[in-house]
Amino acid sequence: MDTRQLEYFVAVAEELNFTRASGRLFAAQSTVSAGIRSLEQELGASVFDRSTKAVSLTAAGMALLPEARAALEAIDRVRSSVALGAEGLRGRLRIGTFIALDAVRLPDVLGTFHERHPLVDLQLISLPTGSSGLVDAVRHGRADVAFTGLPLHDLAGLDVLELARSPFVAIVPPEHRLATQSEVNLAELVTERWIDSPPGYASRVVFDRVLADRGLSRVISAEVGDAGEIPKLVAAGLGIAVIPEIIYRQGPPAVVRPIAGPVTHFTLAVISRPHPSPAAVAFVRLLGEELGLIE
């Protein structure tokens, strides 16, 4: 059994598609298929159920997946440790991120990181399930570090560096009846049609819990993956919204108002698994330095 076989297996297991896995690995599909067959022969068991329409993990494959990820991570750490002493950091750093990250100036941080560690290949990962998916990707070894806005108690077992806290604010159209108020009440907001992020996104997760705790419900008329674009739809009169102030982008005319009463805040953090790779450690430290959180 060699490293390449495990890389093929993990890629197919995560994509559940040989074509997508091959593209991700920059390898011919026939090569990936042959590697999987060789792995199955060595193990004496099938790791995938294959049909003309779908690929799924067998019981043996499900048992192998966490072990294969752990083995690949261990190999990466060995390579990184040796390279660190010989010629500086090298290897791969997979960063889970989402669009509305102006607060951390991510492009500038990535530029500085690349300047310091040019031998590290950077891979940015975004997922349709938002922060929830990114946290899961870190937990299961599909990402090395990730940004998230989920509450800190959802991140148990992970290394967490808190980057910023932000209140939630209400966004209403200029002509809306609530636009003239100095602050707005949740009970008034939930009678309106809402625009929000899809399920799994941190701001949606956090605010769904706020409403549930207060016994309130709402009607969501539109879902937008980029929370920074939500105010544009509000300004167009499609509904109202509540978003973290930290991700609000000034754009078309929309009215921003604080929410009356105590409302939970949004916490932006960067996470990694315990015992992260040297590249992950260097990235998190640089991020903390750039934001003035680490000296």
Residues 13 and 157 in one domain: no
Residues 253 and 192 in one domain: yes
Residues 116 and 236 in one domain: no
- Which of 33, 65, 97 is the endpoint of a domain? 65
Residues 151 and 274 in one domain: yes
Residues 184 and 203 in one domain: yes
The per-residue pLDDT for range 187-238, each reduced to its tens digit, is 999 999 999 999 999 999 999 999 999 999 999 999 998 887 899 999 999 9
Residues 274 and 256 in one domain: no
Distance of alpha carbon 193 from alpha carbon 174, whole angstroms: 16
Residue 198 in any domain: the answer is yes
Residues 52 and 121 in one domain: no
Residues 248 and 291 in one domain: no
Q: Which of 13, 15, 16, 23 is nearest to 51 (CA)?
A: 16
CATH code, domain carrying 10: 1.10.10.10
Helix (H, G, I), strand (E, B) or coil at 56: strand
Residue 135 in any domain: the answer is yes
Domain of 291?
88-161+268-295
Residues 274 and 136 in one domain: yes
Residue 47 in any domain: the answer is yes
Report the pLDDT value the prediction gives residue 280, as an integer from 0 to 100: 93
Report the pLDDT value the prediction gives residue 142, as an integer from 0 to 100: 83
Range 59-67, long-range pairs (CB < 8 A, 24+ positions):
61/9, 61/13, 64/9, 65/9, 65/10, 65/13, 66/140, 66/141
Measured between alpha carbons, how far apart are the two ends of the chain, in Å?
A: 44
Mean pLDDT, residues 56-83 taken together: 82
The per-residue pLDDT for range 253-275, each reduced to its tens digit, is 889 999 998 788 999 999 999 88
The per-residue pLDDT for range 104-155, each reduced to its tens digit, is 889 999 999 999 999 999 999 888 889 999 999 898 888 999 999 999 999 9
Residue with token string 């040019």: 118
Residue 25 in any domain: the answer is yes
Residue 77 in any domain: the answer is no
Range 31-38, long-range pairs (CB < 8 A, 24+ positions):
32/8, 35/4, 35/5, 35/8, 35/9, 36/5, 36/8, 36/9, 36/12, 38/5
Residues 218 and 135 in one domain: no
Residues 57 and 97 in one domain: no
Q: Are strands 159-166 and 120-125 parallel, antiparallel or unpaired?
A: unpaired
Total domains present in the chain: 3
Report the pLDDT value the prediction gives residue 118, as an integer from 0 to 100: 93
Residue 48 in any domain: the answer is yes
Half-sphere exposure (Cβ direction) of 171: Cα atoms closer than 13 Å: 31
| Cβ–Cβ < 8 Å for 146, 154 | no
Give a three-class secondary structure readout of 26-52.
CCCHHHHHHHHHHHHHHHCCCCEEECC
Residues 247 and 287 in one domain: no
Report the pLDDT value the prediction gives residue 196, as an integer from 0 to 100: 95
DSSP letters, 86-140, are: HHS--EEEEEE--S--GGGTHHHHHHHHHHH-TTEEEEEE--TTHHHHHHHHHHT
Q: What is the pTM of this model?
A: 0.75
- Which of 65, 99, 116 is the endpoint of a domain? 65
- Which of 14, 33, 65 is the endpoint of a domain? 65
Residue 274 in any domain: the answer is yes
CATH code, domain carrying 204: 3.40.190.10
DSSP letters, 220-271, are: EEEE-S-GGGHHHHHHTTS-BEEEEGGG----SS-EEEEBSS--PPEEEEEE
Q: How far is CA 60 from the centre of its chain?
A: 28
Residue 153 in any domain: the answer is yes
DSSP structural state of residue 178: T
Q: Is the dihedral of CA 14, 17, 20, 21 positive or negative?
A: positive
